């Protein structure tokens, strides 16, 4: 039903209805209850209210009967929700009237009506409360027999206790506020009634559903459920309760609503089966939040049973379910595990004693008690009893709780608290207006409803269960709830067990929960299972509780539940991808194969070079050593030694000292070697070029000159190194990009010296330039006979060296993108340097060392010849080589000899190297 709205109603709107009813309402409304006898049962069937005389009359609205079907306003009797609550009001009035401290000398009376659990019917009944406030004019109205209507003086109701259902309270509150009649409900919890602008005369001793909705949300959250359905009975209670739950869950953001279904006020056949099957359409939403009346709850459980869905749903019921037995009778298995809440209450022992003492003889004031008697004991009272089909006849001697089961209804406490709240407010008003006056004073003859409301909102006393009764500015009671679970124990006995409380926050005993017989594990009601560590949630649009799990890939880690973020460049995700950890730093280790091979070659080269140097030093004055050019040989051997030794700083762990050595010796060894070789080949070339022109020796061919030229060439390399040191001091850094693999687990940071590829090219470039120039001179001097010089060994050395470095370039730069770049490039560079040094050592010095050690007889002085003789011999040899390609073998020799005889005297010729002579 749509929510109640303000009524703009005046007394004239009700006049016609009241006059039409006056002919029969007078007779029934003015009669006092009488003792129930068999002869009077037909009259009781038409009794609709209870009237107790008193100085001050309180109205009462109770659902004595259920809603009728097929147009009948009232249905079957409600023993607990109707009779128990009604008797609680009568009992409270009795106690107040007997209390000398509360309203002394003032008697409370009552006018109690049956709402039949229907708001429209309750509205019609509540007109009784406002009769005294409406001026009646019956001049134009006649009864059926033509007589004018007779108006009895109605009772003036100063306040109303009720109603039970929120939809009824809303309907009635819209009427009562027009006549300023305060109303205190004992069971209506709809949040809408907290609107003090629309329901300003409404108060309640139970907390509103906004607290109830918060409690239910806290329960759902504590269970780890985030995907639930809601089910509401049509009407203000159900709809506003669900709306409050949905609103609070939306604000909290932790729970999503799969479906929101509504039970029609007048359900058609099969309606509950359709509702249950619709709930199953979202199977992951097992939890169902229910704001439904007990009749609808019972029929929903029955539908679940018919459709074989026992155990599927996780019911979370509102206070309309509470700890009631009627919704779960014969449906215990379907209701097992249901969590329900109920405003915190305690059983009122005095009421139990009072109700057990009620009988047909001492409870004549309750016009519905005879019907209750029949229903409670399963018998009938006379021929006109309410249970004509019952074979058993009531004796009137039956006793409540002895001959029938009895358990105090849950809202009895609140009914009594509501009556006491009204009494305390009247007591405060009496003290204020009638101080010292016994009974009602004239000032309270006509009680002002607005003034009484102010006193109601100000009351503060301990209720019947010992809990404080107070109201806030909206007339709401504080939220205090007991939380129950319907459990079946090992003996198959079903009962509600208290599993927690809620007073502004939830206190739940998780260990007391039981979902199926003997099972304490929490069932799930989630749209999507939690993502594993290292996975983020990709939320489905419009359904924040449903998501897909996506793993954080690459170098991303799970920064939050919904995001993956990139780790800092120097870090990688940890194993769980929940954070970042430093990337391991590596360097070329001595035990690595990439280091062992270059070191082995280098050690062999160092040993061989040392052996050659020691040999040359020992035989420093022998002809072969002197003929090799001692000074230049030592410079060349130094360069060879440096080429071998650079392997060790290239493999050593980088630091400032190691990086400094790398910068210095990386190109210096080659520079020493090729500066010396270039000086040698240049000297040879200049000597023989000069010999073609004149017999005088060229300049700067002495050993001292050669050393000056060599160290001048080396100084260029040293100057470049000094400039490099000044512009960019050596330091180390960690290169995280070289081994940044797709799999972060294999990523490594490489500890390096700050020598880039460009710096390496510049450092080696000058040495390579010397090498190329030396090769050019070796080619130019290739025609000089090997008997006279070292040109051919030098040439072969340079050719081999060029091949080595031509192979080095593609290997070194072609592996720039390889994960093994550091190992390959370091090994390639060091091996290339060692091989270059080995070629020079092997081709230039090993033959000489071999002769010095194994053929000392060849290491003897030769006859010195003049520079002119040497050049002449070399020139003749050159010409012989040129003519050999043009003439027959005999002609060449004859022609050459003739030319020589004309200029050179005949002597015995001995060919030796020019280096044997002092030039």
Weakest mean pLDDT among 103-107, 158-162, 365-369, 513-517: 513-517
Q: Given a cut of 50, is residue 2 above it in pLDDT?
A: no
Q: What local confidence, expressed as pLDDT, does residue 848 receive? A: 87
Convert the pLDDT of each residue in 746-774 to its tens digit. 888 888 888 877 777 787 888 888 888 88
State the Cα–Cα distance between residues 511 and 231, nearest whole angstrom.
28
Which residue do the tokens 């000056």 mark? 708
Convert the pLDDT of each residue in 820-830 to its tens digit. 777 888 888 88
State the Cα–Cα distance between residues 366 and 363, nearest whole angstrom.
6
Convert the pLDDT of each residue in 574-598 to its tens digit. 988 989 999 998 888 888 888 899 9
Which position has the higher pLDDT, 35 or 620?
620
CA angle 865, 867, 869 (to 5 degrees): 60
pTM of the model: 0.54
The per-type count for the chain, helices as H runs and strands as E runs, is 26, 27
Q: What local confidence, expressed as pLDDT, does residue 641 receive? A: 92
Q: What local confidence, expressed as pLDDT, does residue 565 receive? A: 93
Convert the pLDDT of each residue in 425-463 to its tens digit. 999 999 999 988 888 898 898 899 999 999 999 999 999
Look up residue 625 and give its two tokens.
């050593």
The residue-averaged pLDDT of 17-40 equals 36
Weakest mean pLDDT among 139-153, 500-514, 543-557, 788-802: 139-153
Convert the pLDDT of each residue in 351-394 to its tens digit. 999 999 999 999 999 999 999 999 898 888 876 566 666 668 88
Does residue 734 sit in helix, strand or coil?
Answer: strand
Q: What local confidence, expressed as pLDDT, does residue 875 receive? A: 56
Q: What local confidence, expressed as pLDDT, does residue 102 receive? A: 94
CA nearest to 832, candidates 795, 854, 804: 804
Q: Are 202 and 169 in contact (CB under 8 A)?
A: yes
Q: Given a cut of 60, is residue 723 above it in pLDDT?
A: yes
Q: What local confidence, expressed as pLDDT, does residue 383 receive? A: 64
> Could you tell me which residues are beta bridge partners of residue 748?
739
In order, the DSSP letters of 137-150 are --TT---TTSPPP-
CA nearest to 208, candidates 507, 479, 483: 479
Convert the pLDDT of each residue in 109-158 to its tens digit. 999 999 998 888 999 888 888 887 776 666 667 677 777 776 666 778 99
Convert the pLDDT of each residue in 841-862 to its tens digit. 888 888 888 888 888 888 777 6
State the Cα–Cα distance between residues 242 and 598, nearest whole angstrom.
80
- Strand runs labelled E in 90-144: 108-114
Q: What local confidence, expressed as pLDDT, does residue 886 receive? A: 53
Q: Given a cut of 50, is residue 896 above it in pLDDT?
A: no
Convert the pLDDT of each residue in 47-74 to its tens digit. 578 999 999 999 999 999 998 887 788 9
The residue-averaged pLDDT of 606-630 equals 87
Give the chain's mean pLDDT.
82
Tell whether the torsion through CA atoms of 386, 392, 398 and 404 is positive or negative.
Answer: negative
Q: Are 502 and 479 in contact (CB under 8 A)?
A: yes
Q: What is the DSSP letter of 654?
A: P
For 45, other C-beta atoms within 10 Å of its C-beta total: 13
CA nearest to 630, candidates 639, 642, 643, 617: 617
Q: Given a cut of 80, is residue 484 above it in pLDDT?
A: yes
pLDDT band for position 39 (cuts 50, 70, 90) = very low
pLDDT band for position 873 (cuts 50, 70, 90) = low
Weakest mean pLDDT among 389-393, 703-707, 861-865, 877-881: 877-881
Which position has the higher pLDDT, 876 or 859?
859
Most confidently predicted of 331-340, 681-690, 876-885 = 331-340
Q: Given a cut of 60, is residue 793 above it in pLDDT?
A: yes
Q: Given a cut of 90, is residue 24 above it in pLDDT?
A: no
State the Cα–Cα distance between residues 108 and 53, nearest whole angstrom.
8
Q: Is the peptide bond before 163 cis (omega within 30 degrees of 0)?
A: yes
Q: Given a cut of 50, is residue 1 above it in pLDDT?
A: no
CA nearest to 63, candidates 121, 124, 4, 127: 121
């Amino acid at each position: 039903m749509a929510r109640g709205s303000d009524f703009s109603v005046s007394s004239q709107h009700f006049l016609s209805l009241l006059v039409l009813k006056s002919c029969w309402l007078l007779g029934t409304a003015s009669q006092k209850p009488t003792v129930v006898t068999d002869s009077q049962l037909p009259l009781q069937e038409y009794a609709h209210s209870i009237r107790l005389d008193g100085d001050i009359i309180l109205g009462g609205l109770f659902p004595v009967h259920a809603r009728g079907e097929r147009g009948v306003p009232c249905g079957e009797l409600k023993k607990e929700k109707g009779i128990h609550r009604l008797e609680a009001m009568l009992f409270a009035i009795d106690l107040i009237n007997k209390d000398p401290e509360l309203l002394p000398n003032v008697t409370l009376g009552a006018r109690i009506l049956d709402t039949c659990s229907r708001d429209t019917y309750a509205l019609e009944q509540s007109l009784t409360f406002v009769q005294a406030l409406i001026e009646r004019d019956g001049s134009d109205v006649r009864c059926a027999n033509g007589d004018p209507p007779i108006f009895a003086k109605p009772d003036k109701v100063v306040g109303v206790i009720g109603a039970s259902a929120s939809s009824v309270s809303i309907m009635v509150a819209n009427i009562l506020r027009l006549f300023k009649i305060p109303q205190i409900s004992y069971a209506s919890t709809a949040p809408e009634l907290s609107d003090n602008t629309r329901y300003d005369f409404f108060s309640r001793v139970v907390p509103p559903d906004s607290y109830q909705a918060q409690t239910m949300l806290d329960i759902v959250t504590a269970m780890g459920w985030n995907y639930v359905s809601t089910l509401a009975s049509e009407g203000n209670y159900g709809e506003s309760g669900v709306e409050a739950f949905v609103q609070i869950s939306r604000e909290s953001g932790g729970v999503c609503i799969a479906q929101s279904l509504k039970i029609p006020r007048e359900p058609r056949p099969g309606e509950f089966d359709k509702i249950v099957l619709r709930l199953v359409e979202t199977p992951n939403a097992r939890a169902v939040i229910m704001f439904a009346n007990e009749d609808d709850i019972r029929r929903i459980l029955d539908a679940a049973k018919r459709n074989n869905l026992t155990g599927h749903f996780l019911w979370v019921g509102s206070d309309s379910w509470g700890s009631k037995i009627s919704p779960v009778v014969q449906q215990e298995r379907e209701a097992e595990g249901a969590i329900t809440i109920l405003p915190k209450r305690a059983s009122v022992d005095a009421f139990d004693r009072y109700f057990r003492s009620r009988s047909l003889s001492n409870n004549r004031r309750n016009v519905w008690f005879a019907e209750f008697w029949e229903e409670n004991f399963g018998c009938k009272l006379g021929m006109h009893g309410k249970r004509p089909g019952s074979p058993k006849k009531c004796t009137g001697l039956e006793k409540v709780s002895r001959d029938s089961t009895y358990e105090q209804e849950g809202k009895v406490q609140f009914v009594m608290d509501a009556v006491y709240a009204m009494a305390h407010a009247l007591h405060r008003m009496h003290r204020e207006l009638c101080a010292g006056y016994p009974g009602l004073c004239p000032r309270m003859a006509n009680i002002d409803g607005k003034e009484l409301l102010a006193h109601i909102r100000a009351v503060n006393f301990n209720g019947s269960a010992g809990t404080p009764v107070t109201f806030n500015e909206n007339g709401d009671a504080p939220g205090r709830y007991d939380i129950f679970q319907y459990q079946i124990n090992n003996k198959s006995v079903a009962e509600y067990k208290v599993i927690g409380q809620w007073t502004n926050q939830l206190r739940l005993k998780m260990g007391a929960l039981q979902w199926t017989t003997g099972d304490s594990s929490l069932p799930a009601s989630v749209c999507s299972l939690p993502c594993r560590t290292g996975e983020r949630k990709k939320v489905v649009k419009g359904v924040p509780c449903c998501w897909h799990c996506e793993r954080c890939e690459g170098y991303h880690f799970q920064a939050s539940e919904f995001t993956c973020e990139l780790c800092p460049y120097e870090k990688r995700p940890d194993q769980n991808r929940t954070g970042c950890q430093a990337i391991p730093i590596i360097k070329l280790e001595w035990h690595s194969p990439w280091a062992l091979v270059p070191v082995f070659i280098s050690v062999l080269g160092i040993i061989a070079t040392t052996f050659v140097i020691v040999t040359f030093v020992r035989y420093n004055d022998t002809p072969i050593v002197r003929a090799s050019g001692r000074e230049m040989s030592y410079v060349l051997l130094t360069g060879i030694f440096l080429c071998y030794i650079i392997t060790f700083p290239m493999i050593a762990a980088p630091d400032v000292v190691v990086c400094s050595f790398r910068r210095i010796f990386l190109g210096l060894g080659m520079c020493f070697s090729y500066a010396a070789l270039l000086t040698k080949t240049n000297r040879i070339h200049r000597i023989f070029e000069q010999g073609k022109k004149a017999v005088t020796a060229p300049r700067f061919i002495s050993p001292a000159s050669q050393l000056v030229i060599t160290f001048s060439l080396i100084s260029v390399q040293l100057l470049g190194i000094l400039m490099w040191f000044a512009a960019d001091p050596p330091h180390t850094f960690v290169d995280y990009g070289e081994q940044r693999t797709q799999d972060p687990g294999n990523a490594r940071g490489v500890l390096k010296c700050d020598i880039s590829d460009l710096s390496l090219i510049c450092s080696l470039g000058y040495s390579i330039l010397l090498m190329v120039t030396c090769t050019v001179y070796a080619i130019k001097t290739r025609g000089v006979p090997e008997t006279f010089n070292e040109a051919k060994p030098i040439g072969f050395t340079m050719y081999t060296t060029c091949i080595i470095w031509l192979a080095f370039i593609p290997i070194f730069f072609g592996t720039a993108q390889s994960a093994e770049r550091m190992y390959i490039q370091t090994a390639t560079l060091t091996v290339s340097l060692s091989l270059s040094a080995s070629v020079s050592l092997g081709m230039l010095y090993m033959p000489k060392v071999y002769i010095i050690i194994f053929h000392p007889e060849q290491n003897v002085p030769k006859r010195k010849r003049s520079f002119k003789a040497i050049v002449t011999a070399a020139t003749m040899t050159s010409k012989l080589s040129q003519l050999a390609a043009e003439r027959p073998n005999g002609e060449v020799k004859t022609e050459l000899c003739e030319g020589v005889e004309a200029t050179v005297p005949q002597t015995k010729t001995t060919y030796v190297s020019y280096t044997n002579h002092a030039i």
